[in-house]
Amino acid sequence: MAAGLSGTQGVQFGLAHHDDADGIVAMGRAMNLEAESYKHVVFDEERTRATLAPIIEAGTCVVARAWVGDDAPILAGFIAGYVVPHFFGQGSTSVELVVYVCPEWRKTRVAMRMIRYWEARSRTLGADGMFLAVSTGGPKAAAIGRLYTSMGFESVGSMHHKLLKSAP
């Protein structure tokens, strides 16, 4: 088993490294094309890389590496986020910015296992709570919500979105 990774059944979970950036950027591009709620966003690879670099440095990007045959591992998914102080009091909370699992790895428990790894990592970084959002929209949103609920997360509100036009 590779250093710094944990997992079974050909998929291992661990912290992202800078050499994972190409795969994470590719998954970001795929998510941008897939998700109804991001159809208005023009994918910007340079911006994605610039946003990703400090998240990897902070140790708050988790990847799922899958071994298929004798080939080098491929990335099956990732979570990127932060652990931040609570706004109103003591303690910290874990907030994800993006969760993505490649289509061929969906319904394989990769998402659940990756979220569990993120949960443990968040706890290690001092978080006493964790937020996961569903911004995908469409029929996938309900399935994602059911997954989160099955993992012990409670629905505490909803996400609303509005496109803002530039000021005149």
| pLDDT given for residue 168 in this prediction | 64
End-to-end CA distance of the chain: 57
| pLDDT given for residue 134 in this prediction | 83
**In terms of Cα–Cα distance, which of 70, 63, 54 is closest to 26?**
63
pLDDT in tens, the chain (168 residues): 333 444 445 899 999 999 999 999 999 999 999 887 788 889 999 999 999 999 999 999 999 999 877 777 889 999 999 999 999 999 999 999 999 999 999 889 999 999 999 999 999 999 999 999 887 777 788 888 889 999 999 988 877 777 787 766
Q: Tell me the C-alpha distance between 74 and 71, whole Å.
A: 8
Provide the token pair at 130: 């964790």
Length, in residues, of the chain: 168
| pLDDT given for residue 49 in this prediction | 97
